[in-house]
């Protein structure tokens, strides 16, 4: 792996790989963007070693066969003590999270909304998943740019039933459907897993959903009788929305099995990222099959790459709601 420090204002860059004692690359499905942290050697008093000073606005570019991260350092610290100092960079998703906008959209799609706000923010776009869902009206009152984009895709998701996730790909913004899988790789207790833990909980179970109208009258019901017989009734309420099929939306609220919290520590593979599916075969926990990566943390230290993954049976989406919206399928 190669780590470069870039100073755009000076048009210079340095390979600082050897000056980094430890690095950490992480992301999560329900947390916008990815970060890269380095423990940078502080040896400013050693005349035989040249180490560039790191300042806010500097760029970290990380390559492992191909570029895996490109982001800006948001804070920097200097110390007179020898040792290491930690710096953290964030990809350009951070600009969308930290910036707000005021918009009123009419008869458009989630992908068109994303295209417009990214253009206004001068953020390059790599790919926007085409939903085919018309949003008749969507008011965004002082919402973050990221929330505006995800509000559009949230409303599209209610119609299509698909899960969507944003990511920074090749220095540009992209939104994909959550169907990707880590190819040619399996997490296995015989080859790469060195620690695993699986827990189950019924705390968020919902096996019956009542559908009500805007006056509070019940107009329908969705339930899972098998789950109710085994675990008892856990009830949720869904209020009908204009332009959204209430049965489809109510079914998405069902959680008919205990939730599993799965954590695995393994030899690192840079393709194991949040929002991807990965194969697992672990005799200790009984895990076998495809699981969805909820969060990932990759660490490089002393020449070793390890990773900590949180897995889930269920694909999740970073759901956001706008001030007002109505959508229908085109």
265 Cβ neighbours under 8 A, 6+ residues apart = 193, 194, 195, 196, 306, 307, 308, 309
Nearest-angstrom CA–CA distance, 6 and 48: 22
Highest mean pLDDT among 193-202, 230-239, 308-317: 230-239
pLDDT band at 330; cut points 50, 70, 90: very low
More confident residue, 35 or 329: 35
Q: Which two tokens stand for residue 71?
A: 């982001």
Tell me if domain 96-178+318-329 and domain 180-202+258-313 are identical in fold: no
What are the sequence ranges of the domains in the chain?
A: 2-91, 96-178+318-329, 180-202+258-313, 205-254
Nearest-angstrom CA–CA distance, 26 and 68: 11
Tell me what the mean pLDDT of segment 46-50 comes to.
64
Query: Model confidence over 99-158: pLDDT tens digits?
Result: 999 999 999 999 999 999 999 999 999 999 999 999 999 999 999 999 999 999 999 998
Whether residue 325 is predicted with pLDDT greater than 50 in this model: the reply is: no
Query: Model confidence over 247-262: pLDDT tens digits?
Result: 888 988 998 888 778 9
Burial 304-321 (b: 16+ CB within 10 A, else e): ebbbbbbbbeebbbbebe
Overall size of the chain counted in residues? 330
Q: What angle do CA 126, 132, 133 make, to 5 degrees?
A: 115
DSSP of 105-130: EEEE-HHHHHHHHHHHTT--EEEE--
Burial 225-241 (b: 16+ CB within 10 A, else e): eebeeeeeebeeebebe
Q: Please say whether the structural domain 180-202+258-313 has been given the CATH code 3.90.550.10.
A: no
C-alpha closest to that of 90 among 27, 18, 8, 175: 27
Just give the CATH number of 96-178+318-329. 3.55.50.10
In the prediction, which pLDDT does 326 show? 44
């Amino acid at each position: 792996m190669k780590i470069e420090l870039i100073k755009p204002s000076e048009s210079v860059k340095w390979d600082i790989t050897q000056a980094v004692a430890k690095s950490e690359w992480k992301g999560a499905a329900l947390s916008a963007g990815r970060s890269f942290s380095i423990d940078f050697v502080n040896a400013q008093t050693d005349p035989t070693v040249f180490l560039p000073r790191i300042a806010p606005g500097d760029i970290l570019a990380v390559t492992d066969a191909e570029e895996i991260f490109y982001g800006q350092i948001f804070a920097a610290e200097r110390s007179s003590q020898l040792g290491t100092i930690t710096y953290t960079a964030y990809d350009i998703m951070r600009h969308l999270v930290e910036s707000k906008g005021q918009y009123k959209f009419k008869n458009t799609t989630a992908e068109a909304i994303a295209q417009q706000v990214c253009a206004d923010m001068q953020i390059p776009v790599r790919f926007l998943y085409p939903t085919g869902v018309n949003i008749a009206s969507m008011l965004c009152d002082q919402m973050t740019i990221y929330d505006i984009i995800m509000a559009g895709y949230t409303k599209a998701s209610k119609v299509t039933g698909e899960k969507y996730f944003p990511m920074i790909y090749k220095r540009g913004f992209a939104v994909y459907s959550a169907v990707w899988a880590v190819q040619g790789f399996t997490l296995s207790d015989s080859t790469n897993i060195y620690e695993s833990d699986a827990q189950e909980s019924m705390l968020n179970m919902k096996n019956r959903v009542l559908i009500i109208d805007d006056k509070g009258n019940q107009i329908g019901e969705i339930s899972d009788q098998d789950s109710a017989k085994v675990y008892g009734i856990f009830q949720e309420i869904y209020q009908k929305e204009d332009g959204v099929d209430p049965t489809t939306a109510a079914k998405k609220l069902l959680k008919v099995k205990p939730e599993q919290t799965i954590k695995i520590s393994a030899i690192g593979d840079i393709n194991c990222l949040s929002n991807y599916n990965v194969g697992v075969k672990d005799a200790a926990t009984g895990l076998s099959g495809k699981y969805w990566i909820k969060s990932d943390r990759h660490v490089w230290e002393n020449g070793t790459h390890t990773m900590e993954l949180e897995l889930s049976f269920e694909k999740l989406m970073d759901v956001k709601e706008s001030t007002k919206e109505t959508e229908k399928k085109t």
